[in-house]
A and B are shown apart, each in its own frame.
Chain A
Amino acid sequence: MNHLLNKQSLPELLQAWRADYDVYLPQRLEGFSHFMLLGDQKIGLPDRPHNTRVPPKALFLPMTEALVKYTRFGAYKDAELKVNPRIVFAVRPCDAQAVQLLDSVFEQERYSDPYWVERVDQTITIGLGCASGCANGFCTTVGYGPFSKDGLDALLTDLGDRYLVGTLTKAGEALFEKLDLADQATAAEAFEIQHQAHESMPIAFETENLKEKLQQNFSSTYWEQISESCLGCGVCTFLCPTCFCFDLVDETQRRERVRNWDSCMFRIYSQEASGHNPRPTRVERTRQRLSHKYVYWLDQIGQIGCTGCGRCVSYCPVGLDIRAMLRQAQSLPFEVNHAS
């Protein structure tokens, strides 16, 4: 169903939802946009700056979280979890897509993660499509788009002084059912905006045979060339909406085993007790990061594990650009019929 939502009445609607839900939306803070829990504060429209610095994956996989509690006598119990029903509002389609990709990691037949599953189950996700392109995004290049609907319960299209709200699930419809329906002409106007936005996204690199090229050039000097200026700070992985690696650490003061975000760009990440490290330098670690997104995800679930949000490009302190790396990869030699 397509509804119309006046921007002026947005604060009122968000406040009304608070009766039944925790409401999260992007708000500007110290120059960056963050997903914040809505309180009584006056809110700004969630559309500037374009996207949050930390992706909303943090609402499902917190940066730090206790998983196990233990006693002095070595008894263990689950860390409890209380998640109120919640609405995450104005999630960009690249980030919603990423949460859906991560579902394939955390929700499995064997070993589902109860913390992830509970958070996802309690969440209604309202997307805000990207009518105007963002600085470094390349969603259409990797097969997604500025108005992708995956992982969303409703999707908003900015029509100037109002949004067209396309509801995609029952839960999404229930939130907006009291709003007027959009007429055909307005729906067509929104569709045109979506179409234009999709068309205006540049193709940052070719993905044809990219997987084979990266895979078959595992030992190439290409990896040295693209990783030479990397500082190994890990920001590309921390802010990546599809990166999910974590560490488990015992915090003795709190007697808790804690899950913290980790990064394959750190040396200690794969360092073994014997001293051996399969990825001892930035060369192997950069290869792991790119191969995971552009080779291994494809082998695992048939989708590229990068949604083209552009954060790794925007926030890299030395200006490394995954788009340029992958453009360079296109000139690597490869064989079409190589067993892969």
Chain B
Amino acid sequence: MPLKFRSPYTPMPMHVLHAYYESTDRSLKTLELSFDDPEDSRTFFEQFNPGQFCLLSVAGKGESALGVASAAWEGEFVRFTAQKMGTVTKALHELKAGDPIGMRGPLGNGFPLEEWKGKNLVIIGGGCAFSTLYALTKHIHHEANRAEFGKLTLIYGTRTSGLCMYKHDIASWHESEDMEIHQAIDVPEENWLHHVGYVPDVVRQVAPSPVNAVAVVCGPPIMTKFTLPALVELGFDPKAIFTSLEKRMKCGLGKCGRCNLGHKYICKDGPVFSLAELNALPADL
């Protein structure tokens, strides 16, 4: 018998629109997906908020949670960047334009953009975790939304220049008068014109003002661990510091149990939390 209401476990049918490598070492691949069913597209974009994630599904392999790396204004597609790590992400890397794929989402809370309106934004990303911050930056930088926010500062670090994602937009943002961008790599390279060093140190060096500002941090756990205190040192209130967390996930709906942090589920109640919220939760990351 058919189910009485739509199962949140069943993926929506999607197709790969574009698939391309994001990094020179081919460890990162970007997929842009289109909706097979216009109704799915409609409901997706009704709910979508930058900072949310989806579960990408490869039949026979399983599902992987990935942050959405596109802004709604870009069109009726959804972008993800997957690092090749395990069974599912390996399968994702083998997909090419025209291949079918399943998707569930958007899931999670996303960034509290309403709360941030009128504030200066300091966006700090590291490595491939930059994907949702890229979606956020694209959303804010768009002419339709830009006036709602104050000064925009972007700090983005990667191990090497080859691992820098979304190079086209990053290059154009360096030219933009509308935002301040600081790029960093971990070790020196020839012809590198930007910062060399780890993200927490670059944050200290750039020293963004905490006045009427919020900071958003998303990166590998080790980067986040050292960047959050750097922001506190600079005078940012824990309520004005945000980060997006990740844990192993299966359902994405707050039911399968494994991504809990105290009484919160990262999938359902997060993935975006303020430092003030995190300070009240157990250190179970």
**Chain A residues within 8 Å of B, Cβ to Cβ:** 67-68, 70-78, 80-82, 105-106, 108, 110-115, 117-118, 215, 218-219, 244-250, 252, 255, 257, 259, 262, 264, 269-274, 276, 278-279, 284, 288, 291-292, 295-297, 299-300, 339
Contact = CB atoms under 8 A, between A and B. Distances in A.
B85 A264 contact: no
B1 A78 contact: no
A255 B58 CA distance: 12
A110 B253 CA distance: 9
Given A70-B59, A276-B221, A296-B263, A246 B255 contact: yes
A77 B255 CA distance: 20
Given A76-B102, A111-B254, A274 B85 contact: yes
Given A113-B8, A113-B255, A250 B263 contact: no
Nearest to A268: B248
Contact of A117 (B1, B4, B85, B251): B4
B283 A339 contact: no
Contact of A264 (B1, B11, B258): B258
B7 interface: yes
Interface in B1-54: 1-11, 13
Contacts of B193: none
A49 to B, nearest CB: 29
A82 B100 CA distance: 29
Interface stretch (B60-68, B144-152, B183-191): B60-68
B255 A76 contact: no
Contact of B253 (A75, A111, A255, A274): A111
Contacts of B100: 73-75
Contacts of A67: 7, 9-10
B284 A278 contact: yes
B241 interface: no
A71 to B, nearest CB: 7
A70 B4 CA distance: 20
Nearest to A248: B250
Interface of B: 1-11, 13, 57-63, 85-86, 89, 99-102, 221, 246-248, 250-251, 253-258, 260, 262-263, 268, 280, 282-285
Contact of A76 (B13, B256, B268): B13
Main secondary structure of the interface of B (DSSP, over half): loop
Contacts of B262: 291, 295-296, 299
A281 B193 CA distance: 45
Given A272-B247, A273-B86, A296 B260 contact: yes
Nearest to A219: B283
A19 B59 CA distance: 41
Given A248-B62, A248-B250, A299-B262, A284 B284 contact: yes
A250 B89 CA distance: 15
Contacts of A73: 100
A156 B126 CA distance: 61
Given A76-B10, A249-B62, A274-B85, 20 more contacts: A68-B10, A71-B59, A73-B100, A77-B10, A78-B10, A105-B255, A114-B3, A118-B3, A218-B283, A244-B255, A245-B256, A246-B251, A247-B250, A248-B62, A252-B60, A255-B59, A264-B258, A273-B248, A276-B221, A288-B284
Nearest to A277: B248
A273 B250 CA distance: 13
25 contacts: A67-B10, A70-B102, A74-B99, A76-B59, A78-B3, A80-B2, A81-B1, A105-B255, A111-B253, A111-B268, A113-B9, A117-B4, A118-B4, A219-B283, A245-B256, A245-B257, A248-B250, A248-B251, A250-B61, A255-B59, A276-B221, A278-B285, A279-B284, A284-B284, A288-B260
Nearest to B8: A111
Contacts of A276: 221
Nearest to B6: A114
Contacts of A249: 62
B247 to A, nearest CB: 7
Given A71-B59, A299-B262, A299-B263, A76 B11 contact: yes
A250 B283 contact: no
A285 to B, nearest CB: 11
Nearest to A215: B282
- Top 9 nearest A-B pairs (CB, nearest first) are A245-B257, A299-B263, A74-B100, A273-B85, A70-B59, A296-B263, A111-B253, A114-B3, A67-B9
A74 B102 contact: yes
A299 B85 CA distance: 35
Contact of A292 (B2, B62, B260, B283): B260
A246 B256 contact: yes
Nearest to B256: A246
Contacts of B248: 269-273
Nearest to B13: A75
Nearest to B61: A250
A259 B7 CA distance: 13
